[in-house]
Amino acid sequence: MNLTILHLYPKEMNLYGDHGNVLVLKRRCEWRGIKVNIIEHNIGDELPAKCDIIFGGGGQDSGQQRIAEDLRNNGKALKAWAEDGMPTLLVCGIYQLFGNFFKMQDGVTIEGISVLDIETEAGDKRLIGNIVIESGKFGDIVGYENHSGLTELGNDIKPLGKVTRGYGNNGSDGAEGVFYKNTIGTYMHGPLLPKNPRIADFLIKTALERKYGAQKDFEKLPDKLEQKARKIAMERPR
């Protein structure tokens, strides 16, 4: 078996080690004997005809401005993949641009690609610190957030989880991220997946099922170090 991971804009959107999420997916596949091909999509590149998992990381406002036109040029294909259930992980800046728009502090609005019914405006302070959320799908999710964007969800889109410690999408409504079909959007950097192997395995297993059918014998991994990292992260002060 083999999987192809599409990594969106690794040069511009790799804040706080978000590239580590791709490395986690690759290694957890390899431990199971699954071959992995990573395709990096940079500005001006053509999207591949096919892929199995999509990842995009965070970046500064300037990085978002640089990629915005190319992202919109490829928006139709990316939206079609999301609607078809492509397992996708979007962090911070890419999360914002997969929504309807991101309005920066200077009033400039970057049009998104409306894969997710969300709207984001820059706030006047940064929301920073360790974060824990409760997710019906993945249990407790732990991570680190550092953003000024205030994201509001549309009426028909569900959050990834409920904040139990931290700020989340906007610091006021108790929600963090989104979970839409098989697309996960989040403000958690760090990167996210080393401390949350259930999410990594959801992306991998979903990709395998879409490509090869039911995965009844999907191998569980011991995850002793991952669980230790989770425990430490959950005990850290903000």
Coil, helix or strand at residue 135: strand
DSSP element (H, E) containing 164: strand 161-165
How big is the chain by its Cα radius of gyration, in Å? 17
What are the backbone angles phi and psi of residue 16, rounded to the nearest 5°? 55, 40
The tens-digit pLDDT sequence of the chain (238 residues) is 999 999 999 999 988 789 999 999 999 999 999 999 999 999 999 999 999 999 999 988 888 999 999 999 999 999 999 999 999 999 999 999 999 999 998 889 999 999 999 999 999 999 999 999 999 999 999 999 999 999 999 989 999 999 999 999 999 999 999 999 999 999 998 799 999 999 999 999 999 999 999 898 899 999 998 888 888 888 877 6
Among 68, 169, 166, 70, CA closest to 118: 169
Which distant-in-sequence residues (6+ apart) come within 8 Å of 65 by Cβ? 108, 110
Distance CA 191, CA 193 (A): 6
Q: Which pLDDT belongs to residue 190? A: 79
Distance CA 134, CA 236 (A): 17
What are the respective helix, strand and coil percentages of the chain, to the nearest 5? 30, 30, 35
Distance CA 113, CA 97 (A): 6
Q: Which pLDDT belongs to residue 148? A: 94
Q: Which pLDDT belongs to residue 105? A: 87
DSSP bridge partners of 53: 5
Q: Which pLDDT belongs to residue 15? A: 80
Distance CA 160, CA 118 (A): 13
Any catalytic annotation for residue 51? Answer: no
Among 132, 108, 128, 133, CA closest to 120: 108
Q: Which pLDDT belongs to residue 46? A: 96
Q: How many CB atoms sit inside 10 A of residue 9's CB?
A: 24
- In which residue are the tokens 């002060």 written? 237
Locate the domains of the chain by residue range: 2-213+223-235
Any catalytic annotation for residue 29? Answer: no
pLDDT digits (tens, 9 = 90+) for 75-108: 999 999 999 999 999 999 999 999 999 999 888 9
What CATH homologous superfamily does 2-213+223-235 map to?
Answer: Class I glutamine amidotransferase (GATase) domain (3.40.50.880)
DSSP bridge partners of 40: 7
Exactly one of 7, 41, 51, 92 is catalytic; which is it?
92
Count CA atoms closer than 13 A to 107's CA, side-chain side: 0
What are the backbone angles phi and psi of residue 118, rounded to the nearest 5°? -135, 155
* H-helix segments, the chain: 20-30, 61-73, 75-83, 93-97, 197-212, 224-235
